[in-house]
Amino acid sequence: MADIGEARTKFTDENFNIKSNLTNHFLCLISCKILGLKPWQSNKCKSIYLQIFDKLYFLLTIIVLAMISSYVLKHRLSYHENGFIHILTGRATYISLIILNFYCIINIRLKYKDYDKFLSQFRMIDEIIYKYINRISEIKPSYLLKSGFLTAILPLLFFIGQMAVIWTRGSKVTSWLSMEFFQRYHVLFSVFLLQYYIHQIGLRYEVIGKIIHENFYNIQEKNQIKQCLCDMFECILHQTDLVHMFNRIFGLQLVIFTYNTILSLLFLVDTTLVNMKMRPVTSVTVLTFTTEEIVGVVLG
């Protein structure tokens, strides 16, 4: 086996090296950690201080989210809305949003062992993949800025812009509406995190196909081809485990997100039809929520 490994010819896949490098997704991943969607600790770092910090940060995130949710729910329940259906869909939408906010934060902590195994599967696959392709660990500034802008900076700028428009127009619903917007952006970042993991799984299926193609046509010795096929078969088994783990960890989260999206769209359609001539702040709300739900559906 050692001779086969030494004789193996490697090739370079720049696309895989760039997109699989965690550093090139730094802004998106750190944003998810700041919002409490991803633990600060990892299986690589066993620091007791980091574990304590992660637990305290988790409790702080829960407390802040609970305060925001109770404040918005109190005002939303007392806010005058037109028609029974409008009231029902509006309140059901917000309650499902609260459930989704808390579940996104608690989910990974409750299933941390599964989540740890989920991440370790990526490393096991990469160990096999890098037998056949050259490892390039350099940071790609252009990709880092592009991914960071789309998944961290742009949503933040859009959020700040929305808040500026709402607060300058002035309204009695301004404060709690702003907090509800924050909750929706919290969910949006959880979608970014799921999209990241889905993309990483697909990326490894793609590179497995490239490795099989390269070795099948460029290697003459049957032993090397056989070894390559065995390694790629092992990768595919790990990939299958990855998909099962993803469904087990994030499946219910996707169901709640889909349910919230459907309710939000129904509420927005009803709001648009019933309140055609309402105040400017309502128009901003409708446009904002519609944009967010479309983006969420596309990314999800």
Angle at which helix 112-129 crosses helix 222-274, to 10 degrees, equals 140
How far apart CA 186 and CA 179 sit, in angstroms, is: 11
Q: What are the start-end ranges of the H helices in the chain?
A: 2-7, 14-20, 26-34, 48-78, 84-110, 112-129, 141-148, 154-169, 174-218, 222-274, 280-299
CA distance 102 to 227: 47
- Tell me the pLDDT tens digit for each residue of 173-221: 566 777 888 888 888 889 888 988 999 999 999 999 888 888 777 666 6
Is-contact 182 155, C-beta < 8 A?
A: no
- Calpha distance 286→283 (Å, rounded): 5
Q: Taking the model in full, what pTM does it have?
A: 0.79
| CA gap 160, 289 in Å, rounded | 15
pLDDT, tens only, 63-94:
999 999 998 888 777 766 666 777 788 888 88
238: number of CA atoms within 13 Å, CB side?
A: 24
Which residue did the predictor score with more confidence, 185 or 143?
Answer: 185
The structural domains of the chain, with segments of one domain joined by +, span 2-299
What's the mean per-residue pLDDT of the chain?
A: 78
Block residue for tokens 């967010």 = 292
Joined together, the tokens standing for residue 205 give 């299926």
